[in-house]
Amino acid sequence: MSGPAGIGMTSDRTRGRMVEALRKGGIRDERVLAAMLEIPRHLFVEAGIASRAYEDTPLPIGHGQTISSPTIVALMTQLLLEKSLPAKVLEIGTGCGYQTAVLAKLVKEVYTLERIAPLMDKARRNLRDLRVYNVRFKHADGHRGYPEGGPYDGILCAATASHVPAALKEQLAVGGRLVIPVGTDDQRLHVIERTAAGFTEDKREPVRFVPLLPGIA
């Protein structure tokens, strides 16, 4: 297994237990599970809470943001890959870079946006330390997407929106898929697909995410 190995609660064995729990919890895509088995999640959180990195819970990463729980990372990635393996993916909300790293293990190109500059810098360092080089970063408002890199075979948004931003839909390639939490008090994952005739939208599991805020910080 490649990548840094820890000791105790951050060991390969602990990561293996996390993956087995995901499998028992209903994650079926072995490609997603293999990526999460390989990536050392404890390196993406502060040292003081590294022992909690493999718990199935979101954890604070500073600036009012969180790293999503392993189940949510696995579920959203599985939904993105449900029909086909995308070659180029856009991620909205880089955060600490953990979801970015999972995507980078699975697809050829990842473009990722983060509105909070210190978080983007932290994510860039995390991925560089793991020798992940197929990711392009941009400090930007996620509502606008990353049009110069599009169109995308897949878009994954790690913050909840009151509605699906039109710019993200327009940056999907025909046959592409957008996975995004939508709602305020009652949030659900929405899966939007672009067809030759337009868009389809399907509501999926209830979730809880931080809001997709406008502007940059």
Render 20-33 in DSSP notation, one character per residue: HHHHHTT---HHHH
Q: Are the C-beta atoms of residues 107 and 89 closer than 8 Å to each other? A: yes
What is the mean pLDDT of the segment spanning 8-30?
A: 89
Q: What is the pLDDT of residues 167-176, one digit of tens each?
A: 999 999 999 9
**Confidence label for 115 from pLDDT (cuts 50, 70 and 90):** very high
Q: Cβ distance 176 to 80 under 8 Å?
A: no
- pTM of the complete model: 0.92
Task: Delineate the domains of the chain, giving CATH numbers in brackets.
Answer: 62-206 (3.40.50.150)
**What pLDDT does 3 receive?**
41
- Name the residue among 209, 2, 172, 215 with its Cα closest to residue 95: 209
Annotated catalytic residues are 68
pLDDT band at 210 (very low <50, low <70, confident <90, very high): confident
**Amino acid (one-letter) located at 160:** T
pLDDT of 82 above 60: yes
Q: For position 211, what pLDDT does the model report?
A: 84
Residue 87 predicted with pLDDT over 70:
yes
Q: Kindly state the DSSP code that residue 47 receives in the 8-state scheme.
A: G
Q: How far is CA 14 from CA 22, 40, 70, 162, in A?
A: 13, 10, 13, 37
Cβ atoms of 44 and 98 closer than 8 Å = yes
Q: Give the pLDDT band of residue 9 (cuts 50, 70, 90).
A: low
Check residue 191 and give its pLDDT. 97
